[in-house]
Amino acid sequence: MLRSARGSAIDLLLIFTGSLAAVVAGIVYCAPRPAPSGPPILVVPKALDLGPREFGTTAIGRFVIENPGQTPLQVGPFKTSCSCAGVEVEHDGAFQRVVTHSIPPGQQTAFAIRIAVGARPGSSQRVSVYFPTNDPQSPEGVIEASISRVMGGVYAEPSAAIFGDLKARSTALQSIRLYDNGVKSRTIRDVRSSHPERFEVALVPLINGVHEPREHESAGRLIAVAEVRPRSGWIGRFDGTIEVVVADESRAADRIDVIGEVLSESTIMPSAVMLPRIVGGAAVHWSEVVIASRDGLPVRATVETTPSGFDARMMPGGEETGRVVLRIERRASAEIDSRAGTVRLKLTLNDTTQIVEIPVHTVQGLP
């Protein structure tokens, strides 16, 4: 009887111990696993080759950023080396401009860069994309996007005719080489000056040994040479454009800037007069204009015409020093509107005679 009771107690103890072990095992089995603690990892292409693109279009390059790490990868804000470009991300089948973005562990995100193609035809265009990340091994991502050649019109070298300041009666000439920009059948039909009264332009024959090399490293074959020069006798700025017309193409003419100024042999200060002028709080109805030779040579001036209501005369002396003074005075009783007119002078300098006009304006409402 006693042995039976003891056996039952032992059996109960074994059953209890087994149950407790099962419960403990269940608790251990159901406990949550620790969260991944590894860093994010940035995987991104270093370069995007967008190939040749047409001038004035938008080039789109797509790329993927991957995160094979164990924690979310933070990228951005995205910045580009040119305001002509921006980075976008795909969302619900459409691309939207993105500033920052989070990529979960083991996933990737598709991005796109849009570039306004604006480099001059025949050249390449490059844009860099920069963005910080939380990857300790790659704190900054960099992608170089490149357009190998900007297609479109002809390639001009130099890209503009810049003359600077020229002395009057001096001769100046610039040659501009025109390349086919990869279009082998392309030829030039005509070149035109936007301001033929200021400067002239013409095509010249290609000369072996002079117009070399005939092949450009990126802009193709040399097909024409244009020569541009200021028009003889022109004084002042001659800014404008050269229009290059390509044969058998419906596209608009290509344009090449022309920048420069032919300086007069004399200076006129001020170049215009406004009367009356206020001096010490009082109205003054006269003004003086200084006319000087740039090179200190003798200068002579005579008044040809004067606007109604004004008197103009040359002050005595100064001719041999290269500096003369013109005095313009408003008559006290004259009725004058704001568009008074101009004083016209005949100026003789260095055995050259030219006509100079000095605008005269009036201010209404002053005594």
CATH number, position 291: 2.60.40.10
- Shared domain check, 217 and 272: no
Residue 320 lies in a domain: yes
The listed range with the strongest mean pLDDT (26-35, 94-103, 222-231) is 222-231
Number of independent structural domains in the chain: 3
- Shared domain check, 279 and 245: no
Confidence of residue 2 (pLDDT cuts 50, 70, 90): very low
Residue 13 lies in a domain: no
- For residue 38, pLDDT beyond 90: no
DSSP letters, 118-174, are -SPTTS-EEEEEEEEEEETTEEEEEEEEEES-EESS-EEESSEEEEEEEETT----E
Residue 4 lies in a domain: no
Look at residues 136, 151, 166 and tell me which one is the last residue of a structural domain: 151
Confidence of residue 26 (pLDDT cuts 50, 70, 90): very low
**268 vs 292: CA distance, rounded Å:** 7
Confidence of residue 68 (pLDDT cuts 50, 70, 90): very high
Residue 29 lies in a domain: no
Contact 324, 299 (CB under 8 A): yes
- Shared domain check, 173 and 77: no
Look at residues 151, 177, 205 and tell me which one is the last residue of a structural domain: 151
- For residue 350, pLDDT beyond 70: yes
- For residue 203, pLDDT beyond 70: yes
Contact 187, 247 (CB under 8 A): yes
Look at residues 151, 179, 207 and tell me which one is the last residue of a structural domain: 151
Confidence of residue 27 (pLDDT cuts 50, 70, 90): very low
- For residue 28, pLDDT beyond 50: no
- Shared domain check, 147 and 51: yes
Nearest to 264 by CA among 354, 138, 157, 341: 354
Residue 253 lies in a domain: yes
- Shared domain check, 204 and 125: no
Confidence of residue 134 (pLDDT cuts 50, 70, 90): very high
Cα dist. 50→55, 81, 92 in Å?
A: 13, 17, 25
- Shared domain check, 161 and 143: no
Q: Is the dihedral of CA 207, 212, 214, 218 positive or negative?
A: negative
- Shared domain check, 176 and 143: no
Residue 18 lies in a domain: no
Confidence of residue 85 (pLDDT cuts 50, 70, 90): very high
pLDDT (average), residues 227-237? 89
Confidence of residue 22 (pLDDT cuts 50, 70, 90): very low
- Shared domain check, 275 and 256: no
Give pLDDT, residue 338.
58
- For residue 3, pLDDT beyond 50: no
- Shared domain check, 276 and 189: no
- For residue 201, pLDDT beyond 50: yes
- Shared domain check, 272 and 256: no
Give pLDDT, residue 240.
95
Quote the domain boundaries for residue 207. 155-263
pLDDT (average), residues 252-266? 88
- Shared domain check, 256 and 281: no
**225 vs 211: CA distance, rounded Å:** 8
Residue 174 lies in a domain: yes
- Shared domain check, 139 and 95: yes
Residue 32 lies in a domain: no
Give pLDDT, residue 123.
83
